[in-house]
């Protein structure tokens, strides 16, 4: 399984765009990059998943450069309710199980 490295914490203000970068230098050819969000006292929630280039949904965008050794989760115009822990995971669905690290604690202030 590819090891991931992401910042322990980040601070932002309401209305700003937040970019959380995850490093995964030894990502394998068949690995996908997946992000989860976890609020206090809740289970994690799937946000987005991608393989290369850019993926966008109603919640976030995921940018993956050509070498795939890193990825950036972009949250547009965050609000207080986006305060949560964000996990970056790398693996091959169907072959390897999800391995969560400690994630990035995002704190959004007014």
Minimum distance from residue 31 beta carbon to other proteins (Å): 10
CB of 48 to other proteins, least distance (A): 10
β-bridge mates for residue 18, sequence order: 75
Tell me the per-residue interface mask from 39 to 78 with other proteins, x by CB under 8 A, - otherwise.
Answer: --xxxxxx--x-x---------------------------
* 89 touches other proteins (CB under 8 A): yes
Closest approach, Cβ 81 to other proteins, in A, equals: 17
Q: Under the rule (CB under 8 A), what is the footprint of other proteins? A: 32, 34, 41-46, 49, 51, 87, 89, 91, 93-94, 97-103
């Amino acid at each position: 399984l590819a090891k991931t490295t992401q910042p322990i914490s980040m601070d932002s203000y309401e209305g700003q765009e937040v970019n959380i970068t995850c490093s995964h230098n030894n990502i394998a050819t068949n690995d996908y990059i997946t992000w989860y969000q976890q609020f206090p006292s809740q289970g994690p929630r799937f946000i987005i998943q991608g393989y290369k280039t850019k993926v966008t949904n109603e919640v976030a965008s995921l940018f993956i450069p050509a070498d795939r050794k890193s990825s950036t989760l972009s949250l547009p115009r965050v609000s207080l309710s986006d305060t949560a822990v964000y996990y970056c995971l790398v693996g091959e669905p169907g072959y390897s199980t999800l391995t969560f690290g400690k994630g990035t604690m995002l704190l959004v202030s007014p």
